[in-house]
Amino acid sequence: MFLPSRRGDRDHPAANIFEPKSEDISGLKFPATIVVVGGFDPLQDWQKRYYEGLKKAGKEAYLIEYPNAFHAFYSVPELEEASLFIDEVREFMKKECAKRFD
C-alpha cells in the first residue's frame, strides 16, 4: 500500500532491501535488529530472508521464532507468546543500552 503506483511490487527496494537491484547495505551503519517470526505467519519466509540478508551483510541480527504464533501475535496480550515476546524485547533493549553506556 505504501509503494509508488505502477512501480509497486514485492521487489521494490522499499519493500525488499535485498532484492537484486538494491544497494549493498554492508557499509551502512545499522542498529542491532530482532526479527520475530510466528510459525503460522504467512509472511514468515520474507521475515527469515530479511534476517538472512542482514546476517549476510554483516549486521548484528537475532532471529526469534514462535512456532505457535500468527502474524502480529504480540498485539494480543492474552497470548502466552505475547508475554514472551515482551520479555525478549525488554532483554534485548537492556543489552543494547548497556553496550552504548559501557
| pLDDT for res 31 | 93
Q: Look at residue 15 and tell me if it is in a domain.
A: no
Residue 8 pLDDT exceeds 70:
no
Is 3 strand, coil or helix? coil
Structurally, the chain folds into a number of domains equal to 1
**Residue 85 backbone zone (phi > 0: left; psi -120 to 50: alpha; other: beta):** alpha
Domain presence at residue 14: no
47, part of any domain: yes
Q: What is the mean pLDDT of residues 45-59?
A: 95
Answer yes or no: is 66 within a domain.
Answer: yes
Q: Residue 78 is part of which domain span?
A: 33-101
Tell me if 70 is assigned to some domain: yes
Does the structure show a pLDDT above 90 at 1?
no
Q: pTM to 2 decimals?
A: 0.84
pLDDT recorded at residue 13: 72
- The verdict on residue 89 lying in a domain is yes
